[in-house]
Chain A
Amino acid sequence: MLNITKNLDAGALNVALEGRLDTTTAPELEESLKESFEGVQDLTIDLEKLEYISSAGLRVLLFAQKTMNKQGTMKVVKASDTIMEIFEVTGFSDILTIE
Chain B
Amino acid sequence: MRIDPYHQSFPLTGKAIDVFSLQIDKALTDIEMERENRLRIRLSMEEALLRMRDRFGDDQEVEASIEKHFGRLAIQVKLEGEVYNPLSEEETDLEDMCSALLTTLGISPQYIYDGRINILRVQIPLPGMRPLFKIVVSILGGVILGLLFKALPDGGVVSYVEREILSPFYDLWGRILNLVCGPIIFLIIITATLNGQKISDYGGDNRRILARYFFLSMLITGIAMILTLFIYPTPAMIWSAEHSSDGLFRFIMEMIPDDFVSPFLESNTPQLFLMAVVIGGAINAMDTHVKNLTRIIRQANDVGLRVAEWVSRFSPFAISILLGYEILMGRTFILFGLWSCILIALLLSVMFMGVRLLLLAKAQNVSPRLLLKKVWKPFAIAVSTGSLDASYGQLERSCIRELGLQKNFTKISLPNGMIIYMPVSEIGTVAFMVFVATRYNVVTTPSWFLIAAVLSVMLFVATPPVPGANLIAFIALFHQLQIPQEALIDAMIFDIIFGLFANAANQMMLQLEMVSIADRMGLLDKKLLAGEMKST
Q: A16-39, CB under 8 A of B: which get 1 and which 0?
A: 000000111111000000000000
A58 to B43, CA, bound (A): 10
A44 to B24, CA, bound (A): 32
A2 to B43, CA, bound (A): 19
Whether B18 pairs with A89 at a CB distance below 8 angstroms is: no
- Candidates A23, A27, A89; contact of B101 at CB < 8 Å: A89
The answer to whether B100 has its CB under 8 Å from any CB of chain A is: yes
- Pair count A-B, CB < 8 A: 58
The answer to whether B68 has its CB under 8 Å from any CB of chain A is: no
Q: Kindly identify, within residues 38 to 78 of chain A, every residue whose CB is under 8 Å from any CB belonging to chain B.
A: 54-56, 58-59, 62
Chain B residue, CB-CB nearest to A22: B18
User: B residues within 8 A CB of A91?
Assistant: 95, 97, 100, 411
The answer to whether B288 has its CB under 8 Å from any CB of chain A is: no
What bracket does the count of chain B residues touching chain A fall in?
Answer: 20 to 34
Whether B50 pairs with A59 at a CB distance below 8 angstroms is: yes
Closest CB-CB distance, B86 to chain A, in whole Å? 12
User: A residues within 8 A CB of B50?
Assistant: 23, 55-56, 59
A55 to B407, CA, bound (A): 21
A90 to B42, CA, bound (A): 11
Q: B351-369, CB under 8 A of A: which get 1 and which 0?
A: 0000000000000000000
In the complex with contacts A23-B50, A55-B47, A62-B94, A90-B101 CB distance below 8 A: yes
User: B residues within 8 A CB of A56?
Assistant: 14, 17, 46, 50
User: B residues within 8 A CB of A95?
Assistant: 95
The answer to whether A15 has its CB under 8 Å from any CB of chain B is: no
Whether A86 pairs with B43 at a CB distance below 8 angstroms is: yes
Q: Kindly identify, within residues 331 to 363 of chain B, every residue whose CB is under 8 Å from any CB belonging to chain A.
A: none
In the complex with contacts A27-B14, A86-B39, A89-B36, A54-B94 CB distance below 8 A: no
In the complex with contacts A54-B46, A85-B36, A94-B408, A59-B94 CB distance below 8 A: yes
User: A residues within 8 A CB of B36?
Assistant: 85, 89
Q: B112-125, CB under 8 A of A: which get 1 and which 0?
A: 00000000000000
User: B residues within 8 A CB of A86?
Assistant: 39, 43
Whether A24 pairs with B43 at a CB distance below 8 angstroms is: no
The answer to whether B21 has its CB under 8 Å from any CB of chain A is: yes
Closest CB-CB distance, A69 to chain B, in whole Å? 14
User: A residues within 8 A CB of B18?
Assistant: 22-24, 54
Closest CB-CB distance, A11 to chain B, in whole Å? 29
Whether B46 pairs with A23 at a CB distance below 8 angstroms is: yes
Closest CB-CB distance, B386 to chain A, in whole Å? 23
Whether B43 pairs with A55 at a CB distance below 8 angstroms is: yes
Whether B40 pairs with A24 at a CB distance below 8 angstroms is: no
A32 to B18, CA, bound (A): 21
The answer to whether B15 has its CB under 8 Å from any CB of chain A is: yes
Whether B14 pairs with A85 at a CB distance below 8 angstroms is: no
Interface size on A, residues (CB 8 A): 20
In the complex with contacts A90-B101, A91-B95, A94-B408, A22-B39 CB distance below 8 A: no
Chain A residue, CB-CB nearest to B400: A88
A22 to B94, CA, bound (A): 16
Closest CB-CB distance, B357 to chain A, in whole Å? 27
A68 to B460, CA, bound (A): 48
Whether B17 pairs with A23 at a CB distance below 8 angstroms is: yes
- Candidates B14, B21, B408; contact of A26 at CB < 8 Å: B14
Whether B14 pairs with A22 at a CB distance below 8 angstroms is: yes
Whether A58 pairs with B94 at a CB distance below 8 angstroms is: yes
A94 to B95, CA, bound (A): 12
Q: Kindly identify, within residues 394 to 424 of chain B, every residue whose CB is under 8 Å from any CB belonging to chain A.
A: 407-408, 411
User: A residues within 8 A CB of B411?
Assistant: 91
User: B residues within 8 A CB of A94?
Assistant: 407-408
A85 to B43, CA, bound (A): 12
Whether B15 pairs with A85 at a CB distance below 8 angstroms is: no
A81 to B322, CA, bound (A): 50
Chain A residue, CB-CB nearest to B37: A89
Whether B15 pairs with A24 at a CB distance below 8 angstroms is: yes
Chain A residue, CB-CB nearest to B21: A54
User: B residues within 8 A CB of A22?
Assistant: 14, 18, 21
A95 to B94, CA, bound (A): 11
Whether B94 pairs with A85 at a CB distance below 8 angstroms is: no
User: B residues within 8 A CB of A27?
Assistant: 14
Whether B97 pairs with A90 at a CB distance below 8 angstroms is: yes
Closest CB-CB distance, A87 to chain B, in whole Å? 11
Whether B39 pairs with A54 at a CB distance below 8 angstroms is: no
Closest CB-CB distance, B411 to chain A, in whole Å? 7
User: A residues within 8 A CB of B46?
Assistant: 23, 54-56
A24 to B44, CA, bound (A): 17
CB pairs A–B below 8 angstroms (23 shown): A23-B14, A23-B15, A23-B17, A26-B14, A54-B18, A55-B47, A55-B50, A56-B14, A56-B46, A59-B50, A85-B35, A85-B39, A89-B36, A89-B43, A90-B43, A90-B94, A90-B97, A90-B101, A91-B95, A91-B97, A91-B411, A94-B407, A95-B95
Chain B interfacial positions (CB closer than 8 Å to A): 14-15, 17-18, 21, 35-36, 39-40, 43-44, 46-47, 50, 93-95, 97, 100-101, 407-408, 411
Chain A interfacial positions (CB closer than 8 Å to B): 22-27, 54-56, 58-59, 62, 85-86, 89-91, 93-95
Given contacts A23-B17, A23-B21, 4 further A-B contacts (CB under 8 A): A22-B18, A24-B18, A55-B44, A62-B94
Q: Which 10 A-B pairs have the closest CB atoms?
A: A55-B46, A23-B14, A24-B14, A55-B47, A23-B17, A22-B18, A55-B43, A23-B18, A24-B15, A89-B39
